[in-house]
């Protein structure tokens, strides 16, 4: 069967809505359009019942209680509410203090939706430690332990990294935080729905995730807030009608929430099957590329990675030109040229991947719709494009002549 082009291999950016999810959502746009906060007629009751069902579906996916789920607009909002809300609730000095309000620990390769809220808190009297990850990208319990201070109030560590897919020691870090009575937040956007999650045994206090990464709609997310042992409290960041038990005011996005719930249920059913299938496809992709090309580097820990994500640096070719050579395949590049800034990926740089290899990296994100034929097409065309570009790469010539490129003094200004 011929492969249908273009091929989508950017599931870490977003995923298509599953047809089962769309079907569940549709009635809530037109016939069941009520406001879940309307307590005095059937339209409102119907919407509220749908939201309650979705809350149960979402809670079941992470082994939480439905009362512990707060609806948001996505992971960015969940992260903001968790970090700023916990920092304000557990502050060591009042709002008026210019310093000493508490210490927060996070990591340099977190998503900007965690880094930027923490940086804002630093301007408001909090201290923060940004842990440098080791070369394999995995943040471990001992890294957090070394950064702890008597005034540490919050630790925020992502479960799996969005660019390289490495998996941090989240249950172990959670256990450490619970021993020390520190609130533990994890941005689990890339993890939940793909991998088994249990907030009880994994020791999570606050967990963010998003609908559109799990084959649900965009514009809806959730925040898990632990209710017992310990009961976690937050200061609301958005004021209004007191929805979501005062944690997050604003009329609920009922169709989006219904879709989120349905997406969670689909993930429960399909997770094991998807995971095994995608891991086999990813290994096929990595092994084929590594065997057909020299000077290829798979970034991050060799095995402790999400099954559907791989980030590969191709020595001596530049990422954007490589993407031009595989124009029928949608992937993401760590190259500077693909974003507004000309900086190569801060995540790859954070791992100590040189600028030169960071410029040459591609992220492949496999998903539920990915087929074996698509991966075979990808392997063939990536290899072809890399060879085409190496034929015209002066750096590859120097490499073959045995010249150490890192020893050349490139006249930089």
Partner 1 sequence: MNRKPREGFPWVLKGTHMAYSDKVIRHYEQPSNVGSFGTTSEVKKKKDIGVGIVGAPECGDVMQLQIKVNEKGVIEDAKFKTFGCGSAIACSSLATEWLKGKTLDEGVAIKNTELVQELSLPPVKIHCSVLAEDAIRAAVSDYKKKNGLEAGDDDHQHAKVEAIPCKTNAN
Among all residues, which ones are annotated catalytic?
337
Q: Please identify, among the stretches 36-44, 110-118, 318-326, 368-376, the one whose residues bind partner 1 according to the rule CB under 8 A.
A: 318-326
Considering the complex, state which of residue 98 and residue 391 has its C-beta at the smaller distance from partner 1: 391
**Helix (H/G/I), strand (E/B), else coil: 364:** strand
CB closer to partner 1, 173 vs 329: 329
Q: How far apart are CA 352 and CA 297, in angstroms?
A: 13
How far apart CA 111 and CA 355 sit, in angstroms, is 19
331 binds partner 1 (CB under 8 A): no
For residue 105, which phi and psi values (nearest 5 degrees)? -115, 130
Instruction: Compute the least distance from the CB of residue 395 to partner 1, in Å.
Output: 5
CB of 168 or CB of 360, closer to partner 1: 360
Q: Check binding of 344 to partner 1 (CB under 8 A).
A: yes
Piece of 84-92, 243-251, 285-293, 398-406 that binds partner 1 (CB under 8 A)? 398-406
- Beta strand segments in 257-347, E: 296-298, 309-314, 329-330, 332-333
How many residues belong to the site for partner 1 (CB under 8 A)?
A: 45
Q: Which is nearer to partner 1, 98 or 404 (CB)?
A: 404
Q: How far is the CB of 144 from partner 1 (least distance, A)?
A: 32
Nearest in space to 348 (alpha carbons), one of 396, 290, 386, 297: 297
Q: Does 337 bind partner 1 (CB under 8 A)?
A: yes
- Choose one: 16-24, 38-46, 299-307, 328-336; the region binding partner 1 (CB under 8 A): 328-336
> How would DSSP label each residue in 189-237?
TTTBTTB---TTTTT-SEEEEEGGGTTS-TT-EEEEE--SSSPP----S
- Least Cβ distance, residue 378 to partner 1 (angstroms): 15
Phi, psi angle pair for 11, to nearest 5°: -70, -10
Window contacting partner 1 (CB under 8 A); options: 56-64, 81-89, 93-101, 339-347:
339-347
Site for partner 1 in 349-388 (CB under 8 A): 354-356, 359
Supply 152's token pair.
């540490």
26 or 392: whose CB is closer to partner 1? 392
d(CA 334, CA 344): 6
Residue 90 near partner 1 by CB under 8 A = no
Q: Is the peptide bond before 195 cis (omega within 30 degrees of 0)?
A: no
Toward partner 1, which CB reaches closer, 260 or 396? Answer: 396
CA triple 13-18-20, angle to 5 deg: 160
Site string for partner 1, 15-44 (x = CB under 8 A): ------------------------------
How far lies 88's CA from each of 127, 221, 222, 229, 373, in Å?
A: 13, 22, 20, 20, 51
404 binds partner 1 (CB under 8 A): no
Q: What is the number of residues in the chain?
A: 413
Give the span between the Cα atoms of 344 and 349, in whole angstroms: 7
**One residue of 328, 372, 380, 384 binding partner 1 per CB under 8 A:** 328
Contacts with partner 1, residue ranges (CB under 8 A): 5-6, 316-321, 323-325, 327-328, 335-344, 354-356, 359, 389, 391-398, 401, 403, 405, 408-413
């Amino acid at each position: 069967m011929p492969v249908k082009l273009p091929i989508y291999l950017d599931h870490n950016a977003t995923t298509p809505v599953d047809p089962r999810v769309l079907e569940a959502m549709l009635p809530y746009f037109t016939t069941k359009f009520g406001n879940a906060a309307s307590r005095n007629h059937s339209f409102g009751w119907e919407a509220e019942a749908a939201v309650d069902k979705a809350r149960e579906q979402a809670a079941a996916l992470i082994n939480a209680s439905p009362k512990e789920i707060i609806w948001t607009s996505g992971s960015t909002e969940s992260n903001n509410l968790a970090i700023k809300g916990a920092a304000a609730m557990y502050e060591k000095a009042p709002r008026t203090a210019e310093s000493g309000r508490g210490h927060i620990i996070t990591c340099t390769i977190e998503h900007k939706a965690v880094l930027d809220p923490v940086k804002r808190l630093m301007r408001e009297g909090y201290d923060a430690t940004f842990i440098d990850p080791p070369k394999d990208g995995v943040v471990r319990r001992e890294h957090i332990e070394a950064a702890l201070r008597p005034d540490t109030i919050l630790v925020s560590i992502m479960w799996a990294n969005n660019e390289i897919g490495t998996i941090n020691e989240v249950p172990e870090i959670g256990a450490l935080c619970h021993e020390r009575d520190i609130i533990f937040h994890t941005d689990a956007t890339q993890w939940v729905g793909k991998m088994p999650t249990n907030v009880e045994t994994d020791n999570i206090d606050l967990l963010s995730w998003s609908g559109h990464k799990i084959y649900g709609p965009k514009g809806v997310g959730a925040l898990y807030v632990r209710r017992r042992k310990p009961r976690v409290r937050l200061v609301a960041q958005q004021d209004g009608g007191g929805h979501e038990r005062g944690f997050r005011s604003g009329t609920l996005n009922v169709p989006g929430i219904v879709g989120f719930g349905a997406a969670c249920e689909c993930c429960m059913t399909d997770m094991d099957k998807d995971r095994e299938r995608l891991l086999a496809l990813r290994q096929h992709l990595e092994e084929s590329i590594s065997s057909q090309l020299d000077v290829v580097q798979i970034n991050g820990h060799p095995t402790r990675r999400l099954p559907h994500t791989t980030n590969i640096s191709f020595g001596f070719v530049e990422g954007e030109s490589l993407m031009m050579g595989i124009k029928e395949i949608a992937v993401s590049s760590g190259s500077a040229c693909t974003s507004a800034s000309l900086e190569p990926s801060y995540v790859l740089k954070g791992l100590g991947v040189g600028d030169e290899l960071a410029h040459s990296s591609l992220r492949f994100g496999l998903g539920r719709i990915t087929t074996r034929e698509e991966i075979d097409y990808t392997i063939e065309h990536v290899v072809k494009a890399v060879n085409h570009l190496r034929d015209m790469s002066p750096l590859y010539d120097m490499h073959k002549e045995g010249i150490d490129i890192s020893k050349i003094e490139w006249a930089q200004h």
